Amino acid sequence: MLVLPTPTTTEAPPRRTTALLAAAVGLLGGLYLWRGLAVPHPVAGQSEAGLTTWFGVDRWAFVGRGWAITFASLATAAGLAVGRWPERARVLAADATAALGRRTTRLIVAAVGVGLFWLLSDRTENLDGSLLQGKFEAAPGGFATHDEMLELYLHSRLWAGLHAMWGWDVAQTYRLVSCLSGGAAVLLALRIARRFDQPLLVLGLLAGGAWVMVFFGDVENYTLTAVVALAYLAGALRFLDDEDGSVWPLGLLLGLGVLCHLETLVLGPSLLVLVVIAVRRGRRLDGVAAFAAVPAVLGLGLWWFDEHGLPIAQLVSGSQISAQGGDWSRFLLPDGATGWWLQLQLVLLLAPAVVLLPACRFVDVRSVFFGVASAGALLMVLVWRAQLGVFDDWNLYAIAAPPLTLLVVSGLRRASPPWATAFVVLAGTQTLAWVLENHA
C-alpha cells in the first residue's frame, strides 16, 4: 500500500534545508541583480542576442537598473516580513489557501489570469510563427504536419472560422487560444497546488517560471500541448494520492498530448511508473489499458489525418522525431560546451526552481514520478537542437518546466517560509520582466 507522508506545516525545516535554500536565494538574487545592473538597457532595433550574455538571468536588464534594484529590494522585504511576523504570515497563507479551495474563487482567479494574459500578450513572433499565415491560407481544408498534427489543425480550422466572421489574421487567433488556454492552465495549477502541504509555494514556483509565456498570446504550437501536459501531471497526482484511482484516462491524455505535439512523448516514461504502481495495487487491467491507450489514440489520429491529407507513409521522412529521415546532425546539439551552456541557461529561465534541487529530499513515490517525467524532458533539452536558436525557440522546451518545478516542490516538504517567499518574488519578477520585454 502506497501512502504519501504528510508532514505538519508547523514543524521547523531542517537546518541543512534552510541553509541550502538560503544559499540558492542569495545566489539567484545576486545573479539577477548583477546582470540587471551590468547589462545595458535595450534600445529600439537592437538584436535580442546583443543584449545579453546570460539569457537565464539577464531579464531584469530590460526594465532598467531602477527596477532591478526595486525587484531585489522587494524580494528582500518580502522575506524579512515573513520572518518578522511568522504567525501573521501563516494566517494570511491559510486564509488564501482556504479561499482557493472555493470553486468561485478559482474561477475568478482564472478569469483574471485570462485578462492579464491578453493585456500583456506577446507581440513578438519567431520565424515559424510568422510563416503560419501563408501556410493556413494555402490549405483551406485545414493545415497539419506530422510533428504538430492536432494543434496545427485545430488552430487552422479556428482561424478559418474567425477570419470568415471577423477578418482575424492567424496571429490574433493564436493569441485568443493562448490566453484562454492560460485560464485552463490556472485552474489546473490550482488543482495541483491543493495536493501539496504548501499550495502557495507551488503556485508561486509554477507562475515564477518563464514557461508561462506560452499563455501570453504565443503565436506557436505549444500552448495546447502545455495544457494537456499539465492536465496529465494533475491527473497523475490524483492517481498517486488515491488508492482506488484509475490510470487509463492518463494514457488517453498522454496520447492526446502526443497528437498535439510529438514532443509530449518525453513524458512517456513517467506513464510507465504509473502503470507499475497500478499493477502493484492489483489493478493489472487498468495498467495495461493505460499503456495501450497511447498507441491507440496516436494510431487513430494518424489514420484520421491520413484520410484528410497527411499521409502516414511520410511520417518517417517528414517528422523531426526521426530527424526527417535520419539527418541527425541537423537536429542534435553539436559537440562542445557552448550549446549546452545556452540550453542550461534556458532551463534556468523557464524553471528557476531548479536551483533549489540541492535543498530537496526525495523519499516518496511522487518524487519518483516527477523525477522520471523531468528526466525525459531534460533529455530533450540537452540533446535536441533549437532550429531557430535558443532565443527564438524557447517555447519548444517549455514542456520541461512543470515536471521540473513539481519535482522540486515534492522534495521541499518544509521549506523555510522567509527564504521561499524571497525566492518566489525573485523568480516572479524575472518572468514579469521577460513578459514585459516581449509585450513591448
- Is 52 inside any structural domain? no
- Nearest-angstrom CA–CA distance, 418 and 275: 39
pLDDT digits (tens, 9 = 90+) for 28-66: 999 999 998 888 766 544 544 445 678 889 889 888 899
Domain with 230, as residue range(s), is: 28-36+59-439
* Secondary structure element (H or E) that encloses residue 186, with its range: helix 170-193
* Cell, residue 378: 531534460
Tell me what pLDDT residue 49 has. 44
- Is 141 inside any structural domain? yes
Q: What percent of the chain has pLDDT over 90?
A: 65
pLDDT class for 418, splitting at 50, 70, 90? very high
The values of phi and psi at residue 386, to 5°, are -75, 115
pLDDT digits (tens, 9 = 90+) for 172-185: 999 999 999 999 99
Residue 124 DSSP SS3? coil
- Is 119 inside any structural domain? yes
Beta strands in 281-349 (DSSP E): none
Tell me what pLDDT residue 199 has. 93
The values of phi and psi at residue 419, to 5°, are -70, -40
Which amino acid type is present at position 189? Answer: A
CA neighbours closer than 13 Å in the CB half-sphere of residue 186:
24
Please provide the DSSP assignment of 381-434 as one string.
HHHB--TT-TTT-GGGGGGGHHHHHHHHHHH-TT--HHHHHHHHHHHHHHHHHH
What is the count of structural domains for the chain? Answer: 1
In this predicted structure, the answer to whether residue 9 has a pLDDT above a threshold of 60 is no
- Nearest-angstrom CA–CA distance, 90 and 419: 14
Rg (alpha carbons) of the chain, rounded to whole number: 22
- Is 250 inside any structural domain? yes
What is the b/e burial string over 246-276, where b = at least 16 CB atoms within 10 angstroms of the residue's CB?
A: bbbbbbbbbbbbbbbbbbbbbbbebbebbbe
In this predicted structure, the answer to whether residue 365 has a pLDDT above a threshold of 70 is yes
- Is 20 inside any structural domain? no
Residue 198 DSSP SS3? coil
DSSP-assigned beta bridge partners for residue 384: 332
Tell me what pLDDT residue 322 has. 66
Chain mean pLDDT for the chain: 88
Tell me what pLDDT residue 130 has. 87
pLDDT digits (tens, 9 = 90+) for 132-150: 999 999 988 889 888 889 9
Helices (H), 308-336: 315-318, 323-326, 328-331
- Is 4 inside any structural domain? no
Stretch 269-282: mean pLDDT: 95
Evaluate whether 4 touches 365 at the Cβ level (below 8 Å).
yes
- Is 12 inside any structural domain? no
Dihedral of CA 74/76/79/80: which sign?
negative
In this predicted structure, the answer to whether residue 325 has a pLDDT above a threshold of 80 is no
Q: Which residue has the higher pLDDT, 51 or 95?
A: 95
Please provide the DSSP assignment of 266-285 as one string.
GGHHHHHHHHHHHHHTT-HH
The values of phi and psi at residue 72, to 5°, are -65, -40
Q: What percent of the chain has pLDDT over 70?
A: 90
In this predicted structure, the answer to whether residue 328 has a pLDDT above a threshold of 70 is no
Helices (H), 8-166: 15-38, 60-63, 65-84, 86-100, 103-119, 127-137, 149-166
pLDDT digits (tens, 9 = 90+) for 309-323: 888 887 777 776 766
Tell me what pLDDT residue 38 has. 85
- Is 273 inside any structural domain? yes
Stretch 264-277: mean pLDDT: 95
* Secondary structure element (H or E) that encloses residue 265, with its range: none
Q: Which of 288, 264, 266 is nearest to 276 (CA)?
A: 288
Tell me what pLDDT residue 324 has. 62
In this predicted structure, the answer to whether residue 123 has a pLDDT above a threshold of 90 is no
Which amino acid type is present at position 207? Answer: A
Stretch 386-398: mean pLDDT: 83
